[in-house]
Structure 1
Amino acid sequence: MTLFERVKETSNNRGWSLQQTAQKAGLGINSLYSWKKKRPSVERIQAVADVLNVSVDYLIGNTDNPIPAPKTGSHKPTDLADEDIILSFEGKQIPPEDLETIRRFLRGGKDEHKR
């Protein structure tokens, strides 16, 4: 699988178009399509890997494990309400309906709309 194919597949798994992925990574809206024919810079691959929450090694085909290695000293709080954050458990993305169940549990069983 090529770099472009992995980016496309991973974006689709997140429910994003390639244009959305490019925008979230701070790239031009159609720049990912150019990856079909030419290799982008390491910085651009890293930006897309960060947005997709996968490793660069996964995107370039060095591994089939998409989980990025933890960055030392770069831990920051993540809010479950942030829709742009991809949360995973045991290497698999947590489905939106399960995230809502987790959110409800953390609110003490209260439905967000009934606050």
Structure 2
Amino acid sequence: MTPFDRLKKLADKQGLSINDVEEKVGLGKNTLYSWKKKIPSGANLTKIADFFNVSTDYLLGRDTKETKTADLADEDTVFTYEGRQIPPEDLEYMKRLLRGGK
């Protein structure tokens, strides 16, 4: 499986086209299609990994684990659900629920 195949799988899961991903991440048109034949640049690989919350190793096929973990207490992490950012007030609600409703 190529980096493009992995990218396509991730985009499909979120109902996004490759062009949608390019636009959301700020890449030029057809940049990601070039991944079919060549290894992506480090900067673009990182942008896509961050967007889908996966490791660059997953995109390159060096790791089969699709997701990476993050702690809800991490203030520098943007948490998403179905491609949309979770509002801060919802994150606080989730944290309270995980603490047992306190």
Give TM-score, length-normalised by structure 2. Answer: 0.68
Residue 16 in 1 paired to residue 16 in 2? yes
How many correspondences in the alignment? 86
Contact 2:70 2:77 in 1 (8 A): no
- Extract unaligned runs of 5+ from structure 2: 94-102
Percent identity over the alignment is 35
Alpha-carbon spacing, 1:79–1:29, altered in 2? closer, same or farther (3 Å): same
The equivalent of 1:33 in structure 2 is 33
1:66 partner letter: E
Q: What do the CA deviations read for 1:64-97 (whole angstroms, capped 9, x no partner)?
A: 11123549xx733657799533x7xxxxxxxxxx
1:4 partner letter: F
The equivalent of 1:91 in structure 2 is none
1:58 partner letter: Y
- The higher relative CO (CA closer than 8 Å, separation ≥ 6) is in 2
SS at match of 2:43: helix
1:48 partner letter: I
Contact 2:54 2:68 in 1 (8 A): yes
Runs ≥4 residues deviating over 2 A: 68-71, 74-85
2:51 partner letter: V
RMSD: 3.0
Give TM-score, length-normalised by structure 1. Answer: 0.61
